[in-house]
Every structure is written in structure tokens, then in C-alpha cells.
Amino acid sequence: MKIFTWPVVAGAALGIIAPLLTYEGNPGNMGFCAACFLRDTSGALGLHRAAPLQYIRPELIGLVFGALISALFAKEFKPRASSAPITRILLGFFAMLGALIFLGCPWRAFLRLGGGDLTAIVGIAGLFAGVLGGIFFANRGFSLGKVTEQSQSSGWIPILFVLTLFIFLITKFSFGENLPIFFSEKGPAAQHANLWLSLGGGIIIGILMQKSRFCSIGAFRNFVLFRDPHLLNGVLALILFTIVTNLALGQFHLGFEKQPLAHNDYIWNFFAMALCGLCFSLAGGCPGKQLVHLGEGDNDSALFILGMLLGAAAAHNFSLAASGAGVSQFTPYVVIIGFVFCIYVGLTNKVKA
């Protein structure tokens, strides 16, 4: 069996770079979290006004740029889209709500585990359960429509938006206190590594993720359906290299208590990540993969990311997100509504004969 495959290399790179970014200033066990960083970016754009959570994260910009570079080099920049735009936005919306209840995307779940945070195990189990739900619907003909080729210009529009974010970031573009763009002065978003180090790390990861087709959701799905460990080996490499890097940097803290930016409401950790797993499965990939696809010109992924930005806004404007102290009083309602929506989507969108 070949060990050093592209998914293993990509997972190992993320497992090394993310803890290094934490060591250089990113929040604990959050060296690279697509959901948390989209939340911060949403706040920087003024979509929510949680003052500690406002920063345009250069890691995400680098991830998209890295995927773009890799796609152009491999002649895989192919603008495309299918159908059901509102559905895709809402899947991203509920995926973000689930992620902000668990406090992390799939990448961060593995990074948390690699930092010694055992509360992540319940979230990963929930993620797996959500993927099983996605497989259930896929086996019954679920589809959001056939992907078709789009004009080159349509694929570049999301890239130009990301480029605009980069300009805002490096110029500290601001309209004052009452209008965006915002940058936190304290809190998790104010904790960040050097801008250029973060951007460079994101570019490296973007290149490797695009080249490897790395996807947490695909890893579970392919192993369950086909007993194919190709992508799953990448996830295992991610966890292993995160553990080794954190041990080398003195950042490994094993246990359930007092973990950075985590809580111990295990039931909601499980169900929140199950909701994420189901949303990601129905939409075709985790947020990291969606950002990589955005760099390839995929407009479906752009809609999903837009939904996540809006979900982050709703989570903090309406007190739906969890914190280190636990979940909010609205958590059960959010999760139930999310599951009802996903079940409706899974049952009503079929491949046409």
C-alpha cells in the first residue's frame, strides 16, 4: 500500500502549519478553522457586531489563492454550477450554525483532537453520523442538479471578491465605528499570526488541498461505501502530525476540561456536528473543500460560502452560537430546524430519470 499519497501530504501539511500558526498567535487549537475564520470575516464585513470576532482571516484568502494557482497550473480552473441556489445558501447557513454550536469545522475538530482536546471526539462522531445521513439520501437518488460549464467570467467574480478582501486587509480599510470594515482589538479575532505568514500557510495548504482532493466528508463517505481509505489516510495524517507538532511546541494538553474555545455540552456537540455533516454531505463537501472549489471557479461552492457568512451573522446577531461556557438557550431549536430543512431537501431533490 502506498503511504505517501497526496491526501496524506495535504493532511500532514495542515497538521504542521495549523499548530505553527497557533504558536505564532492564532487562538488555541484554531490554527486553521474554515468556519471560525469565515465567522471572523463575516464580522469584519459588519454582518455581525460581535466585537471580539471581527478580522479578515488571511489564511482563507491564501487557501483560495493557493487552490486557484494549483487549478490554473493543472488546467482545472473550470467555472461551473448546477441548480438550487437558495438551497445551497441555506445548507451553508445551517452548516455554519452547527459549526458555531460545536465551535469548529471538521478541520478544527481534528485539530482540537490533535491538541489533546478529547471533547472533539463527540463532535467527530456526530460528523460521521451526519455523513451517514447524507449517504442514506444519496442511495435514494438525492441530487441538487447536473453540473454544467459556465462562462469564464462567472468563475472569476468570487475570486475578485476574495481579492477585494485581501485589499481591505492589507490597507486596514475602515469606514469608522458605525460602518464596516471592522477589526477586533481584543478577543479571539484579535489573536492572529503575522499576516504574511498566515497568507503563505494558506497558499501552501490551498495548493495541496486542490492537488489532493482532500475532503473530510469524502473520507468518511468513501470508506463507508467503497472501503476506500485513500482520503481517510489524509485525515489520520492530519491528526497524527497535529499531535506531533503540538508536542514539539509544548501546546498539547490532553483532557476534557479547560480546553481552548471548547465546551462540554456533549449532546449538542454531537448533534451540532451531525447537522454539519449532513449539510456538508448534501452540498458536496466540508467548508475547506468548498473554499478550494471556489478557487477552481465553482459557483455552487461560492453560494455555499455565502450561506456560511450569513449563518455566522445570524449566529451572533441572534445569540445562536455557543461559547466556552456552553450552548445558548436557542440551540435545540436551531438544530431541530436545521435537521428538518436537511431532511426536506434530501427527500425532495432527486435525480431525474
> pLDDT tens digits, residue range 132-151?
999 999 999 999 999 999 99
Q: Considering Cα of 252, then 15, then 42, then 119, what sign does the dihedral take?
A: negative
Residue 3: the pLDDT is 75
pLDDT tier at 197, thresholds 50, 70, 90: very high
Distance, in Å, from the CA atom of 286 to the CA atom of 55, rounded to the nearest integer, reads: 22
Q: Per residue in 55-106, pLDDT tens? A: 999 999 999 999 999 999 999 999 999 999 999 999 999 999 999 999 999 9
Residue 299's DSSP bridge partners are none
Averaged pLDDT score across all residues of the chain: 95
Residue with cell string 507538532: 245
The pLDDT tens digits for 5-37 are 999 999 999 999 999 999 999 999 999 999 999
pLDDT at 180: 67
235-276 tens-digit pLDDT: 999 999 999 999 999 999 999 998 999 999 999 999 999 999
Return the closest-CA partner of residue 35 out of 296, 216, 172: 216
pLDDT score for 253: 96
Which residue(s) pair with 81 in the sheet? 148
Please check the confidence at residue 353 and state whether its pLDDT lies above 60.
Answer: no
Q: How many CB atoms lie within 10 A of CB 170?
A: 14
User: What is residue 259's predicted lDDT score, i.e. its pLDDT?
Assistant: 94
What percentage of residues in the chain have a pLDDT greater than 90?
92
- Residue 173's pLDDT is 72
Q: CB 120: neighbour CB atoms within 10 A? A: 28
* Angle, CA 210 vertex, CA 106 and CA 199 arms, to 5°: 75
DSSP H or E run through 112 = helix 106-114
Model confidence at 181, in pLDDT bands (50, 70, 90)?
Answer: confident
> With 90 as the cut, is the pLDDT of residue 174 above it?
no
- Helix (H) / strand (E) element for 80: namely strand 80-81
Residue 231 has pLDDT above 60, yes or no: yes
Strand partners, 117: 255
Check whether 176 has a pLDDT greater than 60: no
Residues near 30 by Cβ (< 8 Å), separated by ≥ 6? Answer: 22, 36, 104, 108, 111, 188, 260, 261
